[in-house]
């Protein structure tokens, strides 16, 4: 099955990012410019909440990651969780966890 871009099905007013930096905001994710990035403000954690217009069955997620030391070490995906905060995430069941090896440059 071919990948389908579903960014037009994201409810922008109900989607957000916690801990984003002013020079790397969440809005960069949807600008189509791969030189722009989302950055964390003060520590290496971000929470990105995406709300869709309807129920979605995601079978594939494509994320562009940098090849330098700014690449995340771990990405955890939580499905159907409302109002997730940094204090809540450790106690929640993770639907998918992706770990990326650290590289020494």
Locate the DSSP E strands across 20-89: 47-49, 74-77
Which residue, 88, 62, 58, 91, is CA-closest to 75?
A: 62
Supply the pLDDT for residue 33: 85
Provide CB contacts within 8 A for 77, sequence distance 6+. Answer: 61, 94, 95, 96, 97, 98
- Residues in the chain with pLDDT values less than 70: 1, 102-105
- Predicted pLDDT at 105: 44
Model-level pTM?
0.83
What pLDDT does residue 10 have? 94
- b/e map 46-66, b = 16+ CB within 10 Å: bbbebeeeeeeeeeeeeeeee
């Amino acid at each position: 099955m071919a990948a389908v871009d579903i960014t037009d099905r994201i409810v922008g007013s109900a989607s957000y990012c916690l801990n984003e930096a002013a020079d790397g905001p969440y809005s960069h994710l949807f600008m189509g410019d791969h030189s722009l990035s989302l950055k964390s403000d003060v520590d290496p954690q971000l929470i990105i909440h995406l709300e869709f217009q309807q129920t979605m069955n995601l079978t594939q997620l494509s994320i562009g990651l940098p090849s330098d030391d700014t690449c995340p070490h771990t990405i955890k995906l939580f499905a159907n969780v409302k109002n997730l905060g940094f204090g809540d995430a450790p106690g929640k069941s993770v639907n998918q966890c992706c770990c990326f090896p650290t590289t020494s440059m």
